[in-house]
Structure 1
C-alpha cells in the first residue's frame, strides 16, 4: 500500500505536468529531497523516479514551457564552471571508482541548480519552489521531531523514514538543513500567496519550526546546536524589537534546558573539550592531513580523496576534581576518515582552484541578497515587502549552511544548491522587473509636452 500511495502521488504530479510543465520541476525537487524510492519496500524501488523527473523537468522547459523572462546569471555561470572543474578532477581522481560514484549524483545537483532559476520566472513560481522544498524536507523533519518527543532520539540512533545514514537522512546534515529551513518557512507564513497567512498556516509553521529545533536534539548533532545559535543571531539583525526578541529567546532557552535529555547535554559538552572526544579529535587530524595533502596536490585528488588518509594521535581525558585530577592519554590510529567539513572537502577533492570557485559562489550569493536587502530597505515600507523578506530568509539560510558546513561535508548537498537556485531566481526577477525598459507611448497628433514624459507607461 505504501508503494502504491507513493507512486500514485508522483504519478499525479507527472500527469499535471502535461498541463503545466513547471510541475515536473516541482516533482523533481520533491523526489530529490524525500527520495521516496528508498521509503517504499518493493514496487517503487523498481522505477528510476529521480531520472524520470529530471528528464521531464528539462524536456518540459525546453519544448513546452515559456522562456519569457528567463535569464542566466553570474552565479549560474559559477555553478557551471564548478561542474566542469569537478568533471576534470573526477577524470584524474586518485580513487576513480569512488570518485565516479559521487560524480553520479553531484553532476545532477549542480546542473539542476543552474537550471532551476531559468524556470522560476514569476513570483508564483519562486514561491511554489520554496514551498515544495520546505514541505518536502518537512516530511523528514516532522517524522524526526515526533520520534524525538517520543524518546527515540540519540546520536546515531534516531531512525527517520529510511534505514540509511546518508544525504539528508544523516543526523548532522539534517540538523543543518532543518535549521536553515526555518527562515524560509517563516517567510512563507508571512508572505505566502499559495497558502495565504491565517491561523492554520501559522499553526503548521510553528509546529514545523519546533520540529526543526528538535532535530539537533534527536540526532545529538553538535553542528545543529551551533546552527541554532547562528540563526538566533541572524534573526536578531532583522527583527523590529531586538530587546524583546533577545529576552524571549533567553527565556525559551532557560525553560528548554531542564527538558533536554542527558545524552544531548553530555555530547554538547564535548564542543568545549574536543581533545577528550575521539570524534572531534579525528576531525582536527583529518583537517591537518587535508591541508598538507592540498599543498602536495594543488588541484586536489578528486571526489573521496580522503580514502588515502592515515594518521595517529592521542586523545586526552581528564577525570576527577581538583586537586585530585587524573589525566590519561590513549593512542588512536585512523584510516580513510571523511573530511567532516565542506571547506576541507573542497580543498582535498578539488584543490585550491575548486575551493576558490566554491567560496566565490557562496560569497556572491550572500552579497547579492544583501544588495537586495539594502535596495528594498531604502524604500518606504520596503521591509514589509516579499522581496526584502525572501532575500533576508535566503541569506540567513545560506549563512546557517556555511557555518554548519564547517563541521560536516555538505559542499555539494542538493538541498543547499536548490536554495542557491532560489537566490539566482530572486536576483534575476528583481533585476528584470526593476530595470525593465519603459514602453514609449506614441499618440497620433501629440505635441511636445502632451501625454506625459517620453517613455511613460
Structure 2
C-alpha cells in the first residue's frame, strides 16, 4: 500500500514538475528530505524517484530558461566558491574514488539549491517551498513525539533509513531546525485550525527532539529557544511560555535521559565524547598538513595511523566544522562559514527593512525564524556530521529568494502567499513607511 501511495504521488506530480521548475524543486525536496520511498517495503523502496524528479525538473528548465534568474548575492557566491573548492579538494584527495562518489552526492544537493534560488520567484512559491520542508520533517517529529510519550521517554526516536537523518542525533537536529519554520507558518496563516495544528505539531516535535536523547540536539534546542526569545516582540510573555514549556518537557523525561544530558558537563569522563575530540584533533592535523585537506574519505585506518596514531578506533568527525576542516582544509572551512555569516546578515537586513512595513511583515517573521533555525544548526551541528545536509541550504535558498522578491518590489502586487497566508498586521503606532531595498 505504501509503495502504491508514494508511486501515485510521484507520478501525479510529474506533469507539474515537467511544466513548472518550482514544482520540480518541491518534488525533489520532498523526496530528498523525507525519503518517503524508504518507508515502503516493496518495489518503491529502491525505485529511482529522485532521479525521475530531477529529470522532470530539467525538462521544465529547458522550457523556462528565460524565467530562470539566479540572484547574485553573497550567500550564492559563497556556495558557488565552496562547491568549486570541493571539486579541487576531491582531485587532490587521499582516496579519489570514494571522495568522487561523495562529491557527486553533494553536487546534486547544491545544484538543486541553486535551481531553487533561480526558480522561486513568487511569494507563494517560497511558501510552498517552506511548507514542503516543514511537512517532510514534521511527519517524523509528530510520529516520534507520540512514540516518546507512549514509551514514557525511554525509547529513542530514529529517522528514515538512508539519507542524512537516519540516526537519532541527525533527525533531532533536523527537527530543531524545522520548528521555527513551523512557527513562521503559524504566524502568517489565516486559518485558525491550521494555526492550532501547527502549534500542536511544534510541541510534539519538541518532545520528539528530547526523545532522541541527543546531547547535541539538546544544546541546539536550547540555542534555538534563546534566539527565538530574542526575536520575540513580547519578551516577558515569551520567557514565561518558553520557561513553562521547558520545565514541563524536562519533567516528563525519565532519569536515564537526565543522566545522559548531565554527561555534557563531564565530557572528559565520557568515552564517546573523548573519541569525538580525538577525531577533531585528527582532522585538524590533516588540515595543518594539506591546504586542500584530505578529501571526503579521510576516516580510514591508514590516515588515522598517520595523523592520530594514538586513536585506535576510526571515527568520523561528528562536527560540521571539523569535517569541513579535515576534508577541505582551512579554505573550505572559511567558505563554509562564509555561507552562514552572509546568510545571517542577509536575514538581519531583511528584518531591518521590513520591521515597520505592514506589507512586509511576513518577510520580517520569516527572516527571524530562519535565523532561529540557523542558530540551532550552527550549535547542534558542532557535534554532528551534517555539513552537506539539504535543509540548512534550503533555508539559505529561502532567504535568497525572499531577498530577491523584496528587491524586485513584488510586495506591491503580491499581498498573499500560499494557502491563504497573509501578513500579520502591526499596531497603528508601529507603522512607518520604509523603502524596501536589500
Give the TM-score range, shorter chain. Answer: 0.7 to 0.9
Cα distance 1:274–1:223, how it changes in 2: closer, same or farther (>3 A)?
same
User: What CA RMSD, in Å, does the superposition of the two structures yield over aligned residues?
Assistant: 2.3
- 1:94 CA drift (Å): 0.9
TM-score norm. by structure 1 comes to: 0.84
2:427 maps to 1:422: no
* 1:389 alignment partner in structure 2: 365
Higher strand share: 1
Map Cα deviations across residues 182-237 of structure 1 (whole Å, 9 max, x no partner).
11111112214xxxx32321222122212321223221001111111111111111
| Closer, same or farther: CA 343–68 of 1 in aligned 2, 3 Å | closer
Does the alignment pair 1:209 with 2:202?
A: yes
Deviation, structure 1 residue 65:
6.8
Greater helix percent: which structure? 2
Alignment match, 1:440: none
- The answer as to whether partners of 1:79 and 1:113 remain within 8 angstroms in 2 is no
1:357 to 297, 311, 335: 335
Quickly say closer, same or farther: Cα 1:72–1:139, change in 2 above 3 A. Answer: same
Which SS does the other structure have where 1:220 is aligned?
A: coil
Q: Structure 1: which 5+ residue stretches go unaligned?
A: 314-332, 437-457
With the length of structure 2 as denominator, give the TM-score of the two structures.
0.87
DSSP 3-state at the match of 1:173:
helix
State yes or no: 1:25 paired with 2:25: yes
1:405 aligned residue: 381
| Partner deviation per Cα, 1:109-164 (whole Å, 9 max, x = no partner) | 11111221111101111111111111111122222222222218668x534444x5
1:174 corresponds to? 171
Distance 1:426 1:291, change over 3 A: same
Alignment of 1:32-51 (within 5 A): 32-51=32-51
Instruction: Return the alpha-carbon distance in structure 2 between the equivalents of residues 81 and 380 of structure 1.
Output: 35
Partner SS, residue 312 of structure 2: strand
Aligned to 2:12: 12
* TM-aligned CA deviation for residue 20 of structure 1: 4.1
Gaps in structure 2 of 5+ consecutive residues: 413-438
Greater CA radius of gyration, 1 or 2? 1
1:339 aligned residue = 317
Counterpart-to-counterpart distance in 2, 1:289 and 1:143? 38
Q: Distance in 2 between matches of 1:48 and 1:370?
A: 40
Assess, with a 3 A threshold, how the Cα gap between structure 1 residues 262 and 97 changes in structure 2: closer, same or farther: farther
Alpha-carbon deviation of 1:375?
1.3
Partner of 1:309: 304
Matched, 1:348 2:341: no
Residue correspondence of structure 1 range 82-161 to structure 2 within 5 A: 82-151=82-151, 157-161=156-160
Partner of 2:420: none
Of 235, 244, 247 in structure 1, the residue corresponding to residue 237 of structure 2 is 244
